[in-house]
Amino acid sequence: MATRHSQDSMLLDDTLLVSGNVTYPIGFKAYGVHAGLRRKRLDMALLWSCRPATFSGMFTTNAAKAAPVVLTQKVATRGLSQALVVNSANANALTGKTGEEDALAMQQMVAEGLHVPPPFVAVASTGVIGVSLPMPRVTQGIQDLIGGWANLRDEKKSDGADASQAILTTDTMTKTGARLVHLSGGTVRLGMMAKGSGMVHPQMATILCFVTTDAEIAKPVWDDMIHHAVDRTFHRISVDGDASTNDMVLGWANGMSGVSVESAEDVDKVRWALTDLMRQGARDVARDGEGATHLVTVVVTGAATEDDAAAKARAAVRSPLVKSAVYGRDPNWGRVVAAVGSTGQSFDPAHVDLSMNGIMLLKAGNPVRFNEEQARAAMASEEVIFVVDLNVADASAEAWGCDLTERYVTINAQYRRS
């Protein structure tokens, strides 16, 4: 794994990794139901904050944005939100005027049911592109979700577990996490639920990530934290190189802890904890790539800048040749160096060191003799880690991907029939 900087180590002392999801912070509830959008699995979710929260988001840069993305961007611009409704199985993307009307109808129904202003409701969708939503089923799903919200005594149904399941598509596992952070004024909590498995690539991916905190944070500061965290996590993953129409990362800060994040030290602590939480989510998305059998981590160190290191690391994790070599447990390390050198930025292979799961493969640009069978055995690990040292300066960055398997083709060839 990449070595943590000394500053990271100090911040880690005030951050605890705990079990939980978006309902771990005070004042958040989340529900999931089966509305019939999928054959059997839960397929609609509701996230609710008991009071309006400072709201921020980052969204796909794909010009073919889905209707819920366009709508929720407006919510993020206003900066306050109290609820989120999500459906899986259908992306409501490239669905024309009907799609826009359906997204607005979802927002309006949730707002009426929760007795909040419609602009306080975010909407997200994920699934098949180019198919209109079956609104009678969506309407029933929202009614069921609102019924769960109204029955606040049912703590089990509001604990976020069902919601974390309901947002999945081809995922094989939920992606949740939580952090507890000690600040100068008290303790605050952060929670997350995410999804993503295929159509995953930086800027961004077919990922939905929802983070919550009970800290009180000003809008400009919360925006900066979200952007900082996403740039270092979800912008550094790739499964297949395809950027989605629907991806978004949304964050709510409802202030229910009574702890305000104002000092530079407290801002650093929360920013670090949020980034660490999203790093967990990003790694889980890459690990759960469609058909994947290995998580691929590329760490680039010794770079002139963090941006340069990140670009080189991303180039390696998105390379089909690197992905295929990892799947075949083939220590064909030249593919990694070739990918790192393909970014168009400064690169001198004569200075480069490369190791794989602790086995040195290249030193100062010269191949190192290694035991082939030992290297293949090392590549049988669930995570294959390449460390590329450019030996130029001190900047570093990580990126995450997965191997490329026959199963990926099968999943996507049969996606609409799943």
Domain match, 240 and 217 both: yes
Residue where one domain finishes, among candidates 285, 305, 335? 285
Does residue 415 lie in a domain region?
no
Q: How many domains does the chain have?
A: 2
Identify the helix (H) or strand (E) that includes residue 267: helix 264-287
Give the Cα separation of 84 and 120 in Å (integer): 9
The mean pLDDT of the chain is 91
Domain match, 206 and 321 both: no
Residues 188 and 215: beta-carbon distance below 8 Å: yes
Domain match, 178 and 81 both: yes
**Sign, CA torsion 269/271/274/275:** negative
Residues 253 and 217: beta-carbon distance below 8 Å: yes
The CATH code of the domain that includes 58 is 3.60.70.12
Structure tokens at 247: 């991806």
Give the Cα separation of 266 and 383 in Å (integer): 33
pLDDT digits (tens, 9 = 90+) for 334-382: 999 999 999 999 999 999 999 999 999 999 999 999 999 999 999 999 9
Give the Cα separation of 48 and 116 in Å (integer): 11
Q: Which residues contact 53 (CB under 8 A, 6 or more apart)?
A: 80, 81, 82, 212, 252, 253, 254, 255
Lowest mean pLDDT among 113-127, 169-183, 395-409: 395-409
**Residue recorded with tokens 């996490």:** 177
Res 211: pLDDT: 98
User: Which residues have a catalytic role annotated?
Assistant: 206
Domain range enclosing 364:
295-402
| DSSP 8-state class, residue 256 | T
**pLDDT score of 199 more than 50:** no
Lowest mean pLDDT among 13-22, 148-157, 183-192, 278-287: 148-157
> pTM for the whole thing?
0.90
Q: Alpha helices of 115-218 — where are they, by DSSP H?
A: 135-150, 161-166
Residues 367 and 361: beta-carbon distance below 8 Å: yes
pLDDT digits (tens, 9 = 90+) for 47-98: 999 999 999 999 988 888 999 999 999 999 999 999 999 999 999 999 999 9
